[in-house]
Amino acid sequence: MRLRLVKFLKSNLWVVFLFFILSIVLFSDFLFKGLLPIPSDVIVGAFHPWLDNRWLGISTIFPVKNFEIRDIVYQLYPWRQLVTESLKNGVFPLWNPYNFTGISHIANIFAAPFYPFNFLFFLFPFSLGWSVYIFLQPLLICFSTYLFLRNLKLGKVSSFFGSAVFAFSSVIIARLEFGILGHAAVWLPLALLSEDKIFKDKKYKWWFAGVIFLLFNYLSGYLQVAIYSYAVFLAYGIFRFFQYKNKKALIFILITPFVALSLGGVQTLPFLSAVKESSRIVNYGKEHFFADEFFLPVERLITFLIPDFFGNPVTKNFWGKTSYYEFAGYLGIIPLFFALFSLFKRNKKKEIIFWLILTITGFVFILPNYLSSLPYRLNIPGFSVLVPSRIIFVIDFSFSILCAFGFEGFINSKEKFRKKFSFITLFLFSLCFLVISIFATGKAIFIPEWQKNLIIILRNSVIPVSLLLALLFSLVIYEASSKIFIKKIIIFVLLFLTFSDLL
């Protein structure tokens, strides 16, 4: 095992190095300035008694950068700290005495009392342990997704690209400091990798690994993402069954989620006993207003191309409805180009179609329509209280896999094929931006709110449009040059632009 790890590190040294570099850049404030990845400005800037502080009759309210992620400081951070302190004192965290008259803490999945990576809080002081815990999320996602993509026979550069795009996509970054979605995301690619090992290589010992990966995905503290991960796992298993016709493998795959949940019974049973008292079950399950607010408005599809089209809460100019981070799914202009290019790829067609269907399914259930509202109108137990916007996790993951396939197809395809479909894809991109321009102009003419925020739209469109032009310029040079060295430089430039955009 140790020899395999050493061999992997040696053969993928530059990939490992770049994963660390990207993570270090993202967490430079923590690593070099000693700042913690937690929105603690919310505590003194949005709550009493600090709001009451005055000096010479002047309010001294501390500026809050992003109030939307306040759950971290008054829920997730103290919950995890309570788990850690209880265990350090030799007491199992059964009860949280700080919520009114008290509440079951072991039943709180968000507190993640059984997640293995909690060991970090015993190695370091809690605040530092939390920072390391947050820091590890994109790094581990990079490694797990890279392993999955390499197993799909994609090249190192393509696998690096797809895995890093997912790890630093908006769905991960916007929720990074919560410390739950990122850790849940780590285990999905590894679970899918175990399926491939079972179906393609008939290595059934990987079934045990698959069980552990799904178990950790569940214990990481984000139940809704675990539900989606299990659904993707089962869908992928059925897809592989139709490819390889391995009934024995299919049986193993179908029972894996149930075995994982059974092993996590120490978390599941208290949760089920407490969930019937949840206000979301009692109220939201009967009223649709909660879910209705969290379907992705059709106009917010624009943010997949222009992420801050409706402003940003950090810069205090957000004017979109409901939430910014709930609908944050931006992957970058260049990755989306390669994701679309993958649709023209001739080999690996079945796999590309699977991930395309998964992406489309995600959009069907995140947008307001008859099918997506069905679980809420029928009041299906469990599903009727899920927040629709969270399925954006599946959309971004599927898109990331497609962009890895597209990148591989781009660098390996024949010149005539690449030229033709590169510029078809680019034309579609340009058409999307043109439609957005016409749409925004029309709205600004007839709707005062859009007219008032037109300057925000224009300013926040500069970078995406510049990236589109840089992509066009890069493609022209790539196709015009016959020198391998120039082509490699262009690929490097595209990678640099991608991660400059995402970070």
**pLDDT tens per residue across span 265-277:** 888 888 888 877 7
CA angle 56, 60, 62 (to 5 degrees): 170
Which of 346-350, 366-370, 481-485 is modeled with the greatest confidence? 366-370
Contact in structure between 117 and 111 (CB atoms under 8 Å): no
Three-class DSSP category at 104: strand
pLDDT score for 348: 74
Query: What residue spans of 276-391 are helical by DSSP H?
Result: 279, 289-293, 333-341, 349-366, 370-377
Q: Is the dihedral of CA 366, 372, 378, 383 positive or negative?
A: negative
Share of the chain above pLDDT 70, in %: 92
Give the per-residue pLDDT at 213: 96
Cβ pair 163, 16 in contact under 8 A: no
Please state, in angstroms and rounded to a whole number, the distance separating the CA atoms of residues 92 and 97: 13
At residue 81, does pLDDT exceed 50? yes
* Phi then psi dihedrals of residue 472, to 5 deg: -60, -45
Q: How many other CB atoms sit within 10 Å of the CB of residue 252? A: 21
State the pTM of this model. Answer: 0.92
Total Cβ atoms within 10 A of residue 465: 17
For residue 411, which of 351, 331, 341, 496 has the smallest C-alpha distance? 341
The neighbour count for residue 97, using CB atoms within 10 Å, is 10
Q: Going by C-beta distance under 8 Å and a sequence separation of 6 or more, which residues neighbour residue 8?
A: none
pLDDT band at residue 45 under the 50/70/90 scheme = confident
| In contact, 10 and 17? CB cutoff 8 Å | no
CB atoms inside a 10 Å sphere around CB 424:
13
Summarised one tens digit per residue, pLDDT across range 419-428 is 777 788 878 8
- For 216-246, how does the pLDDT look when each residue is reduced to its tens digit (9 = 90+)? 999 998 989 999 999 999 999 999 999 888 8
In whole numbers, what is the pLDDT of the chain averaged over residues? 86
For residue 107 the two structure tokens come to 């039943």
pLDDT of residue 321: 78
pLDDT band at 281 (very low <50, low <70, confident <90, very high): low
- Identify the weakest region by mean pLDDT among 142-146, 285-289, 298-302: 285-289
Q: Return all residues near 62 (Cβ < 8 A) that are at least 6 apart.
A: 41, 44, 45, 50
Place of tokens 């208290």: 270
Short-list 431, 425, 429, CA closest to 409 = 425
Burial of 430 (0-12, 13-18, 19+ CB in 10 A): middle
Task: Enumerate residues 6+ apart whose C-beta is below 8 A from 250.
Answer: 237, 238, 241
- Give 390's DSSP letter: G
Selection from 101, 50, 44, 42 nearest residue 75 by Cα: 42
End-to-end CA distance of the chain: 34
**Which among 486, 466, 485 has a CA at the least distance from the CA of 476?**
486
Write down the pLDDT at residue 10. 77
Confidence category of residue 285, pLDDT binned at 50, 70, 90:
very low
Q: Is 103 helix (H, G, I), strand (E, B) or coil?
A: strand
pLDDT beyond 80 at 415: no
Question: In this structure, are residues 272 and 223 in contact, taking their beta carbons and an 8 Å threshold?
Answer: no
Burial of residue 44 (CB within 10 Å: 0-12, 13-18, 19+) is middle
Contact 22, 164 (CB under 8 A): yes
Task: Please classify residue 48 by burial: count the beta carbons closer than 10 Å to its beta carbon, then call 0-12 exposed, 13-18 middle and 19+ buried.
Answer: exposed
Of 316, 246, 289, residue with least CA distance to 308: 316
